[in-house]
Structure 1
Amino acid sequence: MVAVREVSLAGYLDRQQIVRSSEDYRLTVSEDDWWGEPLGGMLTRVLVQALAQRLPRSSVIGADTAIRVTPDATVEISIQRLDANREGGVILVAQIAVGHRNGRQDPMVRAFTTSVPPDGSDMRAYVAAASVAVGQLADAAASQLQAQGREADT
């Protein structure tokens, strides 16, 4: 059983409007395009689903839901950046912490960074690129879970 804790966000991302860029000490926010739900909760939900697909032999749940279990592993993700760079590529910078009940006392923390170029300049392309970046984050978290799970078993 893997429990994913609520994703934490850099303060500038914690808003309904979609942040397009934070380059050059300037925040560019879309006034007309909003996330369909609070970004932290949406990312947590999406990462739970993505990890369940990547770890088919494990049950993956959101740790902050009504379901109460003692997980074998926990995943915590802190997103420091999720916006476009000067070239228009969506940058995702995060930290992933994975802890195992049978392993180390302190979770292992790893940095994660990716850049995904959008297929166009419109909002649809931007959101699609952000989705690919979140998928890559899920890949990294799944790999970290599997690697640390093997360490905890030895």
Structure 2
Amino acid sequence: MRRLHFPSLVLLVAFSLLGGCSAFQSPKLYTLDSGNPEIPERNGVAVLLDPVELADYLKRDTALVQRNADGSLSTVRHAEWAGDLQGNIDQLLLRQLAWRLGSQRLALEPAQGFKPDVTVEVSVSRLDSGPEQPVVLEAQWRLLDRQGQLSDSRLVQLQEIHSGTIADQVRAQSAVLQRLADQMAQAIRPLAQRPASQASRKTAQRSRPKVVIPQPAEPAIPMATPTRNVEVYRF
């Protein structure tokens, strides 16, 4: 039996340990970039943001989804989201809207006692990319006024190219979400400038029942009837 020398045995053990470390390599963690939005110094329009509704394939804990060239989806082995993706998107949109609207009066549902001027609902049906696939965001947003009536709604598809690395894909995903916030902010501004009394008046006019005022009856006019010929006798 051939005996291993001590230096060779040490090298063999070292390579085994290195192989084991590579197999159990800790994943890199990524978060969406909110940009550098300035913190508003005034209380402007009051906006309530409902939690973003994500497509089912994006609800995979912290897994980072990749779209392959054939259209199939897979998860990245050594890359994950640093936390909940839905919460990450909520915070990005909240900070972007506050900055673009110049208001600190923004809240994330649930917010007890908060009376919004505008409520924002967002659903994301697609948000992914791949080494050779651009970032694609497909979403719908809806704006509700003070009375909860639908004021605006839009379907959105945005794309952003990247260099192929995971880090640049995350940057590109952040960019399309920032552009989504910009579109919503442009639609919110006209609603915020509408006086509350005007909106209440229009709602009251729509909901007020019609009152039918009875018309006075026309006076009855007796009809003339022909009289019979009567002979008068004088004595």
Q: Is the 8 A contact 1:2 1:58 kept in 2?
A: no
Give ranges in structure 1 of 5+ residues lacking alignment: none
Q: Tell me the amino acid that sits aligned with residue 140 of structure 1.
A: Q
User: Do the aligned residues in 2 keep the contact of 1:75 with 1:96 (CA within 8 Å)?
Assistant: yes
Q: Give the gaps of 5 or more residues in structure 2.
A: 1-45, 199-235
Q: C-alpha distance in 1, partners of 2:63/2:82? A: 9
The aligned counterpart of 1:84 is 129
Alignment partner of 1:49 out of 85, 95, 107: 95
SS at match of 1:89: strand
- Of residues 80, 105, 113 in structure 1, which corresponds to 2:149? 105
Q: Name the structure 2 match of 1:117.
A: 161
Aligned CA distance change for structure 1 residues 84 and 11 (closer, same or farther; 3 Å): same
Is the strand fraction higher in 1 or 2? 1
Greater than 6 Å deviation, 4+ residue runs: none
SS at match of 1:6: coil
Query: Which residue pairs with 2:59 in the alignment?
Result: 14
Q: In percent, how many aligned pairs have the same letter? A: 28
Instruction: After TM superposition, give the deviation of residue 59 of structure 1 in Å.
Output: 1.6
- Secondary structure of the 1:12 match is helix
Higher relative contact order, chain-length normalized (CA < 8 Å, sep 6+): 1
**How far does residue 108 in structure 1 lie from its aligned partner after superposition?**
2.4
Q: Offset at 1:148?
A: 3.6
Q: How far apart in 1 are the matches of 2:82 and 2:139?
A: 22
Deviations 1:113-141 (A, max 9, x none): 110001x2111000000010110011111
The structure whose Rg is larger is 2
Instruction: Indicate conservation of the 8 Å contact 1:82/1:90, yes or no.
Output: yes
Shift of 1:46: 1.1
| Aligned-residue RMSD, C-alpha | 2.2
- Shift of the 109–121 alpha-carbon distance from structure 1 to 2, 3 Å rule, reads same
Please say if residues 22 and 83 of structure 1, whose CA atoms lie closer than 8 Å, have aligned partners that are also in contact: no
> TM-score, normalised on structure 2?
0.58
